[in-house]
């Protein structure tokens, strides 16, 4: 089992590799940064208390290795100049790079590894997988993505798969994985609008995911039935409720603003099919988060006798982070107006 200093070292290495990749203008340095990021994240996935963490780590490693091979092949093809079938070669390498980045970020239809991997991880590793590990592939996608039929299909597929996939889940980690897949579709749609819109969406998404994950990590909730048996004060449950409302995109919470930006831009660009798909997917996502809220607030509370006399301290950190979900919409609205 790793000590605290070793974990901090690997975390700093992972963050440093992200900075290398997003600040470089060479494809080989970008690829090197991604490999550093992979190697520094894998030790953080290990959990001696959970045997399935090894399976998740192996799945993640194999998937990322295949994606890295595709990316390297596309980079080599990009550097290789040929006068024969130049247009066909260009299209192949562009498609190969796009597919490799989609696989690395867990975007549909190459999302198969993400729910299975997250199911075997602890919440802190899930948080990194949904935020920090996505940063490099999504940043590179902004450079290669183009508005065409294939890109629009990827956006709509990700939104629908992420929404429908979370409907029959009882595992909170799998549910968050499908929510992440759905948000990938929203972020790729935001990339097609402008880079600033995507960055605002990603920052807000990371903030909401961090608050939600920290809450689940504190109360050790991994399945939906554990929400029903939470023996916590009403104020604490209300704070968790506001976090869920924000991440689902319900107005007037903070999570509503980025989705409104994307829908508005699709209407202006006359992308009606994408807009309707996004609205339908958002509605389904709101439904399964409302189901979580129902389990937590309205179902019969299970209160074992040995928990009734435990003194519980007030969780000021959770209260402060949950307040961001309320006042965040006002702050982001002002920022968006200035922008």
Tens digit of each residue's pLDDT (9 = 90 or more) over 263-276? 888 888 888 888 88
Is 70 exceeded by the pLDDT of residue 312? no
Picking from 275, 279, 259, the residue whose alpha carbon sits closest to that of residue 267 is 275
The Cα 36–Cα 46 span in angstroms is 17
**DSSP code of residue 305:** G
Give yes or no for residue 91 having a pLDDT over 80: no
Model confidence band, residue 309 (pLDDT cutoffs 50, 70, 90) = very low
- DSSP string across 260-292: HHHHHHHHHTT-HHHHHHHHHHHHHHHHHHHHH
80, pLDDT greater than 80 = no
Q: Residue 310: what pLDDT? A: 44
Integer Cα distance of 245 and 240 in angstroms: 9
> In the prediction, which pLDDT does 1 show?
56
What whole-number distance in Å separates Cα of residue 111 and Cα of residue 107? 5
- Whether the Cβ atoms of residue 189 and residue 262 lie closer than 8 Å to each other: yes
As a dihedral over the C-alpha atoms of residue 83, residue 84, residue 85, residue 86, rounded to 10 degrees, the angle is -20
Domain limits, the chain: 4-338
pLDDT tens digits for range 160-209: 999 998 888 888 899 999 999 999 999 999 888 888 888 888 988 888 88
Share of the chain above pLDDT 90, in %: 22
pTM for the model stands at: 0.86
> Minimum mean pLDDT among 46-55, 101-110, 163-172, 211-220: which range?
46-55
Which residue, 328, 63, 291, is CA-closest to 166?
A: 291
**Highest-scoring range by mean pLDDT, 43-57, 73-87, 156-170:** 156-170
φ and ψ of 223, to 5 deg: -135, 160
Residues across the chain? 339
Please, what is the average pLDDT of the chain? 81
Contact status, residue 117 vs residue 174, Cβ threshold 8 Å: no
Q: Which one has a higher pLDDT value, 239 or 128?
A: 128
| pLDDT greater than 80 at residue 37 | yes
3-state secondary structure (DSSP) of residue 223:
strand
Answer yes or no: are the C-beta atoms of 184 and 105 closer than 8 Å.
yes
Predicted confidence (pLDDT) at residue 314 exceeds the cutoff of 70: no
Q: Provide mean pLDDT across the span 215-231.
A: 81
Asked if pLDDT for residue 337 goes beyond 70, the answer is no
Distance of CA 13 to the CA centre of its chain: 21
Q: Are 49 and 38 in contact (CB under 8 A)?
A: no
Burial of 278 (0-12, 13-18, 19+ CB in 10 A): buried
């Amino acid at each position: 089992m790793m000590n605290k200093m070793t974990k901090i070292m690997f975390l700093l290495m992972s963050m440093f590799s992200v900075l290398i990749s997003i600040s470089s203008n060479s494809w080989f340095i970008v690829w090197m940064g991604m490999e550093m990021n992979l190697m520094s994240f894998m030790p953080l996935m290990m959990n001696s208390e959970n045997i399935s963490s090894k399976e998740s780590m192996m799945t993640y490693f194999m998937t990322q290795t295949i994606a890295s091979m595709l990316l390297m092949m596309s980079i080599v093809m990009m550097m290789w100049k040929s006068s024969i079938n130049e247009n066909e070669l260009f299209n192949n390498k562009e498609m190969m790079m796009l597919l490799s980045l989609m696989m690395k970020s867990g975007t549909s239809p190459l999302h198969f590894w993400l729910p299975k991997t997250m199911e075997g991880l602890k919440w802190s590793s899930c948080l990194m997988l949904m935020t920090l590990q996505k940063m490099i592939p999504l940043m590179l996608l902004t450079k290669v993505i183009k508005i065409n039929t294939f890109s629009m299909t990827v956006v709509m597929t990700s939104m629908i798969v992420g929404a429908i996939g979370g409907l029959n889940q009882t595992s909170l980690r799998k549910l968050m994985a499908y929510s992440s897949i759905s948000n990938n579709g929203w972020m790729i749609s935001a990339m097609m609008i402008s880079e600033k819109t995507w960055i605002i969406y990603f920052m807000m998404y990371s903030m909401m995911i961090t608050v939600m994950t920290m809450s689940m990590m504190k109360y050790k909730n991994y399945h939906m039935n554990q929400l029903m048996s939470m023996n916590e004060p009403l104020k604490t449950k209300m704070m968790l409720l506001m976090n869920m409302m924000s991440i689902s995109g319900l107005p007037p919470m903070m999570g509503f603003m980025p989705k409104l930006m994307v829908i508005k831009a699709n209407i202006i660009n006359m992308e009606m099919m994408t807009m309707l798909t996004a609205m339908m997917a958002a509605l389904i996502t709101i439904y399964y988060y409302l189901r979580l809220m129902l389990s937590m607030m309205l179902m019969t509370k299970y209160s074992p006798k040995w928990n009734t006399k435990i003194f519980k301290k007030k969780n000021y950190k959770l209260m402060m982070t949950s307040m961001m979900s309320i006042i965040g919409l006002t702050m982001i609205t002002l920022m968006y107006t200035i922008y």
